[in-house]
Structures are given as structure tokens and as C-alpha cells.
Structure 1
Amino acid sequence: MRFTLAVAAGLIFAGTAAVPASADAPKGAYWRVETTFTTTHPHAVGSGYYLTQRSVDTDWLSPEGKSWSGFRELGAKPATAKDEAAWRADGSPTTWDYRTEGMKIHLSVKPGKGFIGVAKGQPDGFRLGEKYVTYQQLQSLPTDAEALRKHLLADVNAWIDEAAEEAKTTSPNSKKEDWLVNLDRYVAERASELLYVNPVPDKVRAAAYQVLKTTKGVSDLGWAKDPLGRSGRKLALPVSSSGGSVLKQQLLVDTQAMTLLAEYTDLKDGGKAMLGKSGVQTFRAGWTDGKPAVPGAS
């Protein structure tokens, strides 16, 4: 659904279907999450210039846990003024085609047709990590920040135990510590997902923001605006590094609605930017009565 390198396991909550007093009733027919991703295409085209690509991914979730997904390429354009000058010198082409690793790549300045369909290969429900829960179970998440942190921490630790054991089947020298070094980052990532992925109660989102901003290694960068001009508080996640690659991510949060506005990803390998894997995502999340449809082309 979104462009993220976050990894964490889900929470599963036992109990009755009764909705707790802290629950938020659905305010529409679907919980809709629109993610627009902007990145620099990883391969130079034409005489050697680079293109910026945009795409939009939209998910709809009904309170019953039914889901639909839509996607559309939004077109490409020269990435910088220097790239635009080279593009114009090439005659201002509107399409680009090349082959890499046996695959044909086609790029265009025009948006694609896009598609919409029922999400396949997954059970009904709302995904939290690697588990699927009901709307009622979403409403049972802790509304106290420290209680929520304990839930997230316990779940991340459970995932680390499982991941470390599985890794030994292919990498006998791998250790649990390889994951534990990023424990705080995983908790922060999980808290950030509660700010937009699923229709959790307002009080849960407020608690999630408190967990996020007070997690060890998270730094407050002050007020900023996203590419859509929306204002929010920018937070930097703990830096993750492994095998020469360094991942830096920043999040922009609307602290009134307690929703995630944008995520900035900067991935470098050996000091070199990983084009296509770095970029910015903007999010629009909320209830709607509009039926699932192919995402717009703008």
C-alpha cells in the first residue's frame, strides 16, 4: 500500500465483539487511505538525465473488514533544472523505453489508466503487522500512551524472536541482537502506522503520537510543510544502518487531527543515494462514503 521500509509484527486482541466506551463509531462507509509517492527514477534516460516519477495508491476498508485497492502512475518529468535542460536538448520527448535485467521499462509524461479491484490474497479484517483484526478489536487498543507502548514493545519483541529464529535457517551466524539494535525504531514505526493506516479511535491516535515522539532516538525537527502545503510537526526516526546501507526517515504529523501527513525516506548504500527507494510519500486518510474507484490522475 505505501512505500515504507518499516517491519514489525501485528497485535492480536482476544475478547468479545463489544465495542469499548473509547471506541469511535464509523463516520462513513469506508476508511480511505491515499498514498502519493514521489521519487527519482533510478536509471538515467536519453542523453543521461534523470526523471521524477509520481504514483498514487489508494485503499478502502469497510467496517466489516472488506478491502479494495487502486493504483495509478501519475507520469514522469525531468528531476532538476539541469535534467530539464538536457531533456529539452534531446527534443523534449514524452516517452522513454529501455531494457534492464531482461525487463522492458516504459515511462511517460502522461498518467497511466490505473486500476481498481477487490484486494486479493488476504483475509477480511484490518491488518496490524502480520495479523488481521476486526473493527471492534481496533477499538480495544490502549488509549494511554504508556500502556500502548507496552503493547507495541511486547509485539515487536515477539516478532524479533520469530525473525531471528527464521534467519538462522539461511544465515547461521545471525543473532537476535541484529534486530534488537533497531528496537526503538521498530516501536516508533509501529506507532506511526496507528496515525493513518487503520480507523483507530482518536484517543488511540493521540496516544500513538505520544509514543512516537517520546521513543528513544526520535528527534523533533520543528514545524514544517509537506509537498501539498500542509503544516505539521516533523520528527526524525532513529537512523538504521546495516552492511554499508544507511536509512534515514522523517515523519510529518498533523498534531490536531493526529494523522500522518508525509514520510520522507533517504536510503544510501555506500554513501550513494538509492534512487527509486528514496523519496517522499504524502498521505490522506479518513472516512468517506465515496465508493472505491480508480485514483485520480492529478
Structure 2
Amino acid sequence: MRFTLAIAAGLIFAGTTVVPASADAPEGAYWRVETTFTTTHPHAVGSGYHLTEREVSTEWLSPQGKSWSGFRELGAKPATKKDEAAWRADGSPTEWDYRTEGMKIHLSTKPGKGSIAADKGTPDGFRLGERYMTYQQLQSLPTDAEALRKYLVADVNAWIDKAVEDAKTTSPNSKKDDWLSNLDRYVAEQASELLYVNPVPDKVRAAAYQVLKTTKGVSDLGQAKDPLGRSGRKLAMPVPSGGGSVLKQQFLVDTKAMTMLAEYTDLKAGGKAVLGKSGVTTFRAGWTNDKPAVPSAS
């Protein structure tokens, strides 16, 4: 479950004017979601220093449910001051190549060319959890927090029932309780997606925030700023049960616009951070009339 934000009317990003969602007619030709992920590359390069990588993904959705996806690598740079010193001692290279698990990895300080393409093989519509909805159905979601919670719980339970049935082919001993132990987390994740993934009405967004912050296991960490300097309320998600790894996840929410600003992911295995899968993601989302295009390199 997972993937930019209507901060307020008049917000500008990538040359696009973005405005909040409305319960009425769409306020643009596309709902555009921009997701920028920053992480430390898992493999040391050169004389043993690590690099931080950034990549940006975009999703463009028309009110009719047609979608386009864009992607661009934004380049790599030394992760810390210590890594920067080692990089300079190596002569400040701008490219790195190595092989791992049979794959050739190429890293560069320069942004990639990027791509944009219409999504094929997926149903038309707006994805909420594991199913697709029409724009009109999104506008009809409950605006009362408890009613929305009941809606999301029912949706998650339906997904769990299907997951249990599908799992029987490979894990005959699978039980519904294996999934239900993480029910609160799944509900919180679905509520968080309503804060940026789809163009839902403002009242639905406000209800989703109430569901998120009052879900069992979610804790309030107070005010904080994201890497872009935007202020919001930081909430910690319930830690999932089961497995040998530990995933800690936090969200930063603009409580005035009721939109998601950032997600922080800390995945550890054996007490050590899993580089490449831990990091911070920033979001921007809103209506635009600009046609789908390769994400900006900035």
C-alpha cells in the first residue's frame, strides 16, 4: 500500500499551480502526485564511502481514471561529511560501476534522463487500498471519522480474507489471525493514503487524519519539519508484528491543509539499518492542467 500534496491554493511546484481538492467538479485536467525518495545506497563505493541517492516518481490521474507514470534518478552524492572527505581523497569521481547479485549497478552525480508513459495493464480508476474506484465514488466517501473508519476496516477485512485464501496455495497453514495482528496498521496506512494519493474532498481528508491519529498504536511525536522545510505534525505508525525485521514508519502531516508532507522509513534487520530501503520520502500533490511530462531534474 502506498505513493503529492495540495498544500494550499496557489502552491507552485515544477511550474504547476496546485489547489486543494473539491467535492464538486475536478479543478484541473489531472491529479498529480510527486514522490521524492532519498536513501543511503546499500553498497560502499570507491575507498569505502557511502552515497545518498534521490529519485522522483510522478503519477498523473485524469478524472476518468486514466493514469501516467514518470520517473527520474536525481543523482548521487556522499552521504556524510566523512564520506565526502573520502570521496574528495579519491579524486571526486562523478560515476561508479560495480556488480552485485549478477546485476550491473551504475551510479552518477548527474540526474538521469527520466521517463514518462501511460500506464498499461492496470484498470482505469483511482486505487484505494487493493481496489479501484471512480472519481464519483471518491467524492462519496464518508466525511465522518468513525463512519470512515468503519468503511476502511471493512475494506481491509475484505482484503485480508482474499489474502488468506490466496495464501492457501503456498502456505496451507496460514490463518487470518496472521494478518489481523496488523489490522490497525493496515487501517492507518489506508487513512494516510487519503491524505495525498487521490483527489478526495477536503472533509474526507480531514476525517482521514482523525482516523489516522486515533488508530490504536499510532503515537503523536509533535511538530516537526520535513527536508523541504515544511512544518507539520509527526505521527508514528504501529510497528508491524512478525518477521525477523523491524519496520518503523512515521508520517508528517500538514494539519491545516490535511495533506501528507513526508514519510520516514526505518527498516532494521538484526539490529542494523537496511540501507536502500530506509530513508525519507517527500510528497507534493494537487490539480494541474499541465500534461504528463518527465519529472524535473531539480
Q: In the TM superposition, what is the alpha-carbon distance from 1:175 to its structure 2 partner?
A: 2.0
Provide the TM-score with structure 1 as the length reference: 0.91
Tell me the residue number matched to 1:44: 44
**How far apart in 2 are the matches of 1:24 and 1:218?**
32
SS in 2 for 1:166: helix
Cα RMSD (Å): 1.3
CA contact (8 A) 2:130 2:159 kept: no
Tell me the residue number matched to 2:58: 58
1:297 aligns with 2:297: yes
CA contact (8 A) 1:2 1:35 kept: no
**Cα distance per residue 1:194-215 (max 9 Å; x no partner):** 0000000111000000000000
Change (3 A) 1:2 1:113: farther
SS in 2 for 1:91: coil
> How high is the sequence identity, in percent, across the aligned residues?
86
**How far apart in 1 are the matches of 2:274 and 2:189?**
21
**How far apart in 2 are the matches of 1:149 and 1:183?**
12
Task: Please say which of residues 175-184 and 142-151 is displaced more in the overlay.
Answer: 175-184
CA contact (8 A) 1:24 1:200 kept: no
Q: In the TM superposition, what is the alpha-carbon distance from 1:154 to its structure 2 partner?
A: 0.7
Q: Which runs of 4+ in 1 moved over 3 A?
A: none
Amino acid at match of 1:163: A
SS in 1 for 2:86: helix
CA contact (8 A) 1:235 1:251 kept: yes
**Cα distance per residue 1:253-282 (max 9 Å; x no partner):** 011111100000001111111111111100
SS in 2 for 1:227: coil
Q: In the TM superposition, what is the alpha-carbon distance from 1:24 to its structure 2 partner?
A: 3.1
Tell me the residue number matched to 2:72: 72
CA contact (8 A) 2:160 2:176 kept: yes
**Cα distance per residue 1:16-39 (max 9 Å; x no partner):** xxxxxx923211111010000000
Match runs of 1:220-235 below 5 Å: 220-235=220-235
Q: In the TM superposition, what is the alpha-carbon distance from 1:48 to its structure 2 partner?
A: 1.1
Tell me the residue number matched to 2:121: 121
Q: In the TM superposition, what is the alpha-carbon distance from 1:225 to its structure 2 partner?
A: 0.4
Q: In the TM superposition, what is the alpha-carbon distance from 1:65 to its structure 2 partner?
A: 1.0
Q: In the TM superposition, what is the alpha-carbon distance from 1:229 to its structure 2 partner?
A: 0.3
1:165 aligns with 2:165: yes
Match runs of 1:243-258 below 5 Å: 243-258=243-258
Q: In the TM superposition, what is the alpha-carbon distance from 1:130 to its structure 2 partner?
A: 2.2
Q: In the TM superposition, what is the alpha-carbon distance from 1:290 to its structure 2 partner?
A: 1.2
Match runs of 1:149-298 below 5 Å: 149-298=149-298
**How far apart in 2 are the matches of 1:23 and 1:93?**
52
Tell me the residue number matched to 1:12: none
Q: In the TM superposition, what is the alpha-carbon distance from 1:2 to its structure 2 partner?
A: 6.1
SS in 2 for 1:224: strand
**How far apart in 2 are the matches of 1:48 and 1:192?**
38
**How far apart in 2 are the matches of 1:32 and 1:243?**
35
**How far apart in 2 are the matches of 1:171 and 1:51?**
39
**How far apart in 1 are the matches of 2:66 and 2:170?**
36
Amino acid at match of 1:135: Y
**How far apart in 2 are the matches of 1:276 and 1:243?**
19
Amino acid at match of 1:208: A
Amino acid at match of 2:211: V
Count of aligned positions: 280
**Cα distance per residue 1:153-192 (max 9 Å; x no partner):** 0111111122122223212332221111111000000000
Amino acid at match of 1:108: S
Q: In the TM superposition, what is the alpha-carbon distance from 1:241 to its structure 2 partner?
A: 3.6
Amino acid at match of 1:252: L
Change (3 A) 1:41 1:74: same
CA contact (8 A) 2:184 2:216 kept: yes
Q: In the TM superposition, what is the alpha-carbon distance from 1:239 to its structure 2 partner?
A: 0.9
SS in 2 for 1:242: coil
Tell me the residue number matched to 1:133: 133
